[in-house]
Amino acid sequence: MDVPQLDSSNIVSLVESPIPIDQSLKIYPDIQYFSSNGILLITYSDDIIVMWNPTTRESRRIPSPILNKHGGHYNFCYFPRIDDYKIFRLGYDHKEIDIFSTKGNTWKSIGTFPPNYYFLAYNVVMADGIVYMTAKRKENLSNYTILRFCLEKEQFQEELLFPYAIPRSRHFLFSLGEKLCFIRLLEGNHKINREFWLYMMKTNSWNKILTLPLTRENCVRPLSFMKNGGMMFQKFDSSGFVAYNSTTHKLEQVNVAGIEGLYFIFVSNPNPSNVFTQNLSHDIIIDILTKLPVKSLIRFKNACKSWYSLIKDDKFIKQHYDTHKNCQKYFMVYRKYNMNNQFNCYHYTMNVPQLDSSSDAFLLESPVSIDESPTVYPNIQYFSSNGILLITYFDDIIVMWNPTTRESRRIPSPFRNRCGGFYDFIYFPRIDDYKIFRLGPRLVNGDMEIDIFSTVEIDWPVSSKLLFLWY
């Protein structure tokens, strides 16, 4: 479905279930569905737990928590920083909490639901990597609150209060995009006023975004925002969609051929870039991204979680470099000192063989902080290999720097050698290692020695000593 055009010309197609027919549950199955980073988590009680990519049709069976056979509330989330999917489970009976990591391929017991609260079973929501659960305090049953569990850190956080006291009004939690959405139902005069509140994590505040007067027969739940300012909803009876028109302030029916009367499962996909990636195979995406310049890739790192993980992958980096190494476009960096002896770097791009230098040079932020910058006539050396710069300031400051991505890495100094030295370095693709060569004198007797630094071994082993005298 195209949003916001609401194009319903496509016919729904049947997708083969990732669960074999003989294992499918029959009447009233306890099925739960969740989506993160384009992957579906499907649970059939605790016996069948599957992660499924509906685009590529690939699936992975998750081992069951054998000790817990009574079902539970599930949810999951992808964390690009650690490149791991984590599954959250809260047991029905004993309220035990278990965490599954796809990296470790094991279940980990965290403990139980906080003993000072009663858990309200209809509210377990994932947003921004946080599990939100509605609960009541045991000392005051009329006091509703929201408990927060950080799935990445695997620990409870400070509880979150509702925007106002909730005496008897019904309320629900939903995830709207990557945000937590709170819905309050106020009944009266045969109608239900439904208020939609959005939680802003950065400011730790609630914002009321919409109020809809709905009849009892027309109850809906939010699915995603639309580019034109509206919102997409699903009917509670799973019979279809409605869209809120922000101009007319009315709900409009959205018909999709092929789902009338069928049980509908929604896969949340609020990020427009995810729509692109789900319609293209992984190989095609890699082929497109490898042909883009680094400047464009840096922008795409913030566009999509899956793209971010792909661009940071070592294999992709090598493939991208091999694609562009013969493009005959040089990225030139030069240094300049100002009146305050501050060290600055500038760069401009030159095309070869045209030698087009029409582009203006612009300032690059130095990879070394100002207080570390040398003053007058510093002993600075520059070397380049595989698109990486090695910058040395005596033996005290040694930095590997990517001027395109602005990323840098501080290399530990060979502390026994404070007299400086001659440096150079090179990248060896066969062993995937940058090696730094240093030829310098010893402090004690002035003998020349050779040191080699390996970015893989992270060490400065002395390879040999040259029997030369330092004059």
Could you tell me how many residues make up the chain? Answer: 471
* pLDDT confidence tier of residue 2, bands split at 50, 70 and 90: very low
138 pLDDT band, cuts 50/70/90, is: confident
Cα separation, 243 vs 112, in Å, equals 40
Would you list the domain boundaries of the chain? 21-270, 277-324, 329-466
Calculate mean pLDDT across residues 201-218: 78
| DSSP string covering 276-330 | HHHTS-HHHHHHHHHTS-HHHHHHHTTT-HHHHHHHT-HHHHHHHHHHHTTS-EE
Residue 353 banded pLDDT, cuts 50, 70, 90: very low
SS3 at position 446: coil
**In the numeric block, which tokens belong to residue 39?**
């992957």
SS3 content of the chain, % helix, strand, coil (to 5): 10, 45, 40
The number of angstroms, rounded, from the C-alpha of 181 to the middle of its chain's C-alpha atoms is 20
Model confidence at 229: pLDDT above 80:
no
The encoded tokens of residue 465 equal 């000593």
- pLDDT for the residue 362: 53
Out of 110-114, 243-247, 429-433, 439-443, which region has the weakest mean confidence (pLDDT)? 439-443
Question: 139: closest CA among 156, 116, 105, 110?
Answer: 116
155 vs 342, more confident: 155
CATH assignment of 21-270, among 1.10.510.10, 2.120.10.80, 2.60.40.1180, 2.70.70.10:
2.120.10.80
Whole-angstrom CA distances from 59 to 20, 22, 30, 230 are 12, 17, 20, 34
Whether the predicted pLDDT of 441 surpasses 60: yes
What are the DSSP calls for 192-213, one per residue? EEEEEEEEETTTTEEEEEEEEE
pLDDT band per the 50, 70, 90 thresholds, residue 398: confident
As a whole number of angstroms, the distance between CA 188 and CA 3 comes to: 33
Q: How far apart are CA 345 and CA 402, in angstroms?
A: 13
Q: Is the pLDDT of residue 471 over 50?
A: no
Give pLDDT, residue 216: 57
Using pLDDT thresholds of 50, 70 and 90, give the confidence band for residue 124.
confident
The pLDDT of residue 322 is above 90: no
Predicted pLDDT of residue 450: 85
Does 122 or 352 have the greater pLDDT score? Answer: 122
443 versus 116: the higher-pLDDT residue is 116
Q: How confident is the model at residue 237 (pLDDT cuts 50, 70, 90)?
A: low
Range in 16-25, 90-99, 184-193, 262-271 with the lowest mean pLDDT:
262-271
pLDDT value at position 200? 84
- What is the pairing mode between strands 397-402 and 388-393? antiparallel
pLDDT at 376 over 50: no
* pLDDT at residue 273, rounded to an integer: 37
Q: Count CA within 13 A, CB hemisphere, residue 98.
A: 22
% of the chain surpassing 90 pLDDT: 10
pLDDT in tens, 32-43: 888 888 888 988
| Residue 434 amino acid letter | Y
- Residues 52 and 58 sit within 8 Å (Cβ to Cβ): yes
The whole-angstrom separation of Cα 117 and Cα 120 is 9
Rounded Cα gap, residues 152 and 109, in angstroms: 14
278-314 per-position pLDDT tens digit: 445 677 778 888 887 776 776 666 556 677 777 778 7
Average pLDDT, the chain: 73
d(CA 450, CA 440): 7
For 403-424, the pLDDT digits (tens) are: 777 788 888 877 655 567 888 9
Q: Which has the higher per-residue pLDDT, 281 or 246?
A: 246
- Asked whether residue 266 carries a pLDDT value surpassing 70, the answer given is no
What is the rounded CA–CA span in Å between residue 232 and residue 224?
5
- Is residue 401 within 8 A of residue 408, CB to CB? The reply is yes
Do residues 156 and 114 make contact, with C-beta atoms less than 8 angstroms apart? yes
Q: What are phi and psi of 118, to 5 degrees?
A: -100, 130
Burial per residue of 55-65, b for 16 or more beta-carbon CB atoms within 10 angstroms, e otherwise? eeeebeebeeb
Structure tokens given for 7: 């194009």
| Six token digits for residue 32 | 């739960």
Calculate mean pLDDT across residues 135-149. 85
Which is it for the CA torsion 384, 389, 391, 395, positive or negative?
A: negative
Mean pLDDT of 86-99: 89
